[in-house]
């Protein structure tokens, strides 16, 4: 029987070679010819056609993976973006109500191979374009990835949440003040820095990893800069725990030395400690979510801390009601400077790309009350 199939194969080979060399006949024509000469059955020909079609598709997919020219949506280059147009109405006298472009961003990322990936993320709102993220990542396995370039420092839960995925228009006071954002002593760094980090997930149970970690070494001078402003390198780390589906806990730590923004123009400025630690928790079940976070910071001899707790509920898939308690103490030794904000808001979700957020911020100072409540509305398109 084996010799019979061997003779059959030897008889078929010349036909295949002639077809390949001369290119005078297509694969389909060749198969029809072999059927006609009773060298192949119809079933065998159909199987060969299916195999050839599969291999041809795999070849096209491979060629698509390897082409690095611009092709939106391809594996090598994926383009996305974010536009947030905002209105702010201020109760405070002397502050004008205004429309502004809160964020206008363009994101380019992709996978060069199964292991190598990259991202370049740029902000166009405000005065001039700013480079937010620019890094490359190599993945050894789920438990070990190495990343180098400019990216978010692994500090606090809320700072790491994408701007398009925030429940409220603004981040909490303590995150803005202690995670390298608008009110930090080093200025607004968008929570980012330049350095290298390792990360990964491990201990999988029922299809879900129980732990993930991130540890990095950074300049400590912030993002979009050409050099470090001191010789000390800062470290940051975060550990996440996910005991059951929908429940997440996290802890973050940061240790560094930095030159405060207020002293950058002083000759021979002196560095000071800029240390942080915090912990957070989040639970999501169905349409309901609750999040809480505490963060403590030390800048030189000044200790600061704050925390927030928030809850959200989708009354229908298109409408989410949200509320938040947010308190921050910028100087622990001063007993009269704590500020507290009560948030109330609603998110109208038109589709997965477009959302209208409306927030009201009721602000209370510890001693002298200021009429500084804010009504905000923001239309977001993420593509």
For residues 270-296, give the mean pLDDT. 96
Query: Percentage of residues in the chain with pLDDT exceeding 70?
Result: 85
Domain termination residue (choose one: 45, 64, 83): 64
Together in a domain, 40 and 132: no
For residues 35-47, give the mean pLDDT. 76
Task: Give the model confidence (pLDDT) of 298-335 as tens digits.
Answer: 999 999 999 999 999 999 999 999 999 999 999 999 98
For residues 124-153, give the mean pLDDT. 95
For residues 27-46, give the mean pLDDT. 74
Together in a domain, 90 and 187: yes
Domain assignment of residue 55, given as a range: 2-64
For residues 177-206, give the mean pLDDT. 94
- Regarding pTM above 0.85, the answer is no
pLDDT category of residue 9 using cuts at 50, 70 and 90: very low
Please write down the HEC assignment for all residues of the chain.
CHHHHHHHHHHHHHHHHHHHHHCCCCHHHHHHHHHHCCCCCHHHHHHHHHHHHHHHHHHHHHHHHHCCCCCCCCCCCEEEEEEEEEEEEECCCCCCCEEEEEEEEEEEEEECCCCEEEEEEEECCCCCCEEEEEEEEEEEECCEEEEEEEEECCCCHHHHCCHHHCCCCCCCHHHHHHCCCCCCCCCCCCCEEEEEEEEEEEEEECCEEEEEEEEEEECCCCCCCCCCCCCCCEEEEEEEEEEECCEEEEEEEEECEECCHHHCCCCCCCCEEEEEEEEEEEEEECCEEEEEEEEEEEECCEEEEEEEEEEEEEEECCEEEEEEEEEEECCCCCCCCCEEEEEEEEEEECCCCEEEEEEEEEEEECCCCCCCCEEEEEEEEEC
Together in a domain, 298 and 360: yes
Q: What is the mean pLDDT of the chain?
A: 87
Together in a domain, 290 and 203: yes
pLDDT score, position 62: 53
Domain termination residue (choose one: 64, 91, 115): 64
pLDDT score, position 229: 81
Together in a domain, 30 and 99: no
Together in a domain, 21 and 138: no
Together in a domain, 174 and 280: yes
Together in a domain, 88 and 19: no
Domain termination residue (choose one: 64, 81, 114): 64
For residues 181-193, give the mean pLDDT. 92
Query: Percentage of residues in the chain with pLDDT exceeding 90?
Result: 67
Together in a domain, 215 and 351: yes
Checking if the pLDDT of 19 tops 50, the result is no
Per the structure, the count of domains in the chain is 2
Together in a domain, 205 and 308: yes
Task: Give the model confidence (pLDDT) of 57-96 as tens digits.
Answer: 565 555 444 444 445 567 889 999 999 999 999 999 889 9
Together in a domain, 44 and 192: no
pLDDT category of residue 220 using cuts at 50, 70 and 90: very high
Checking if the pLDDT of 204 tops 50, the result is yes
Together in a domain, 119 and 33: no
CATH assignment of the domain containing 324: 2.40.160.10
């Amino acid at each position: 029987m084996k010799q019979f199939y061997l003779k059959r194969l030897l008889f078929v080979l010349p036909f295949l070679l002639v077809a390949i060399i001369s290119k005078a006949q297509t694969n389909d024509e060749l198969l029809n010819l072999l059927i006609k000469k009773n060298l192949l059955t119809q079933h065998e020909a159909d199987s060969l056609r299916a195999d050839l079609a599969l291999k041809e598709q795999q070849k096209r997919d491979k060629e698509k993976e390897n082409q690095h020219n611009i092709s939106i949506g391809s594996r090598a280059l994926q383009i996305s973006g974010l536009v947030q147009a905002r209105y702010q109405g201020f109760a405070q006298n002397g502050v004008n109500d205004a429309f502004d472009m809160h964020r206008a961003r363009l994101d380019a990322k992709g996978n060069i191979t199964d292991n190598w990936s990259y991202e370049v993320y740029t902000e166009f709102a405000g005065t001039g374009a700013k480079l937010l993220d620019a890094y490359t990542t190599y993945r050894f396995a789920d438990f070990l990835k190495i990343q180098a370039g400019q990216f978010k420092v692994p500090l606090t839960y809320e700072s790491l949440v994408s701007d398009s995925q925030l429940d409220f228009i603004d981040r909490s006071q303590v995150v803005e003040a202690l995670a390298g954002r608008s009110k930090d002593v080093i200025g607004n760094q968008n929570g980012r820095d330049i350095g290298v980090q390792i990360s990964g997930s491990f201990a999988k149970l029922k299809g879900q990893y129980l732990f993930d970690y991130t540890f990095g070494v950074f300049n400590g001078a912030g993002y979009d800069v050409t050099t470090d402003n001191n010789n000390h390198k800062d470290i940051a780390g975060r550990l996440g725990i996910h005991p059951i589906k929908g429940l997440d806990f996290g802890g973050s730590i940061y240790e560094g030395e930095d030159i405060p923004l207020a002293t950058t123009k002083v000759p021979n400025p002196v560095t000071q400690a800029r240390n942080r630690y915090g912990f957070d928790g989040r639970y999501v079940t169905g349409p309901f979510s609750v999040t809480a976070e505490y963060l403590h910071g030390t800048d030189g001899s000044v200790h600061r801390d704050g925390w927030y707790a928030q809850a959200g509920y989708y009354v229908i898939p298109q409408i989410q009601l949200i509320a938040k308690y947010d308190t921050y103490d910028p100087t622990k030794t001063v007993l009269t400077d704590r500020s507290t904000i009560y948030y109330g808001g609603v998110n109208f979700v038109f589709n997965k790309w477009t959302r209208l957020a409306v927030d009201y911020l009721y602000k209370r100072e510890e001693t002298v009350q200021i009429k500084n409540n804010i009504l905000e509305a923001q239309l977001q398109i993420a593509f």
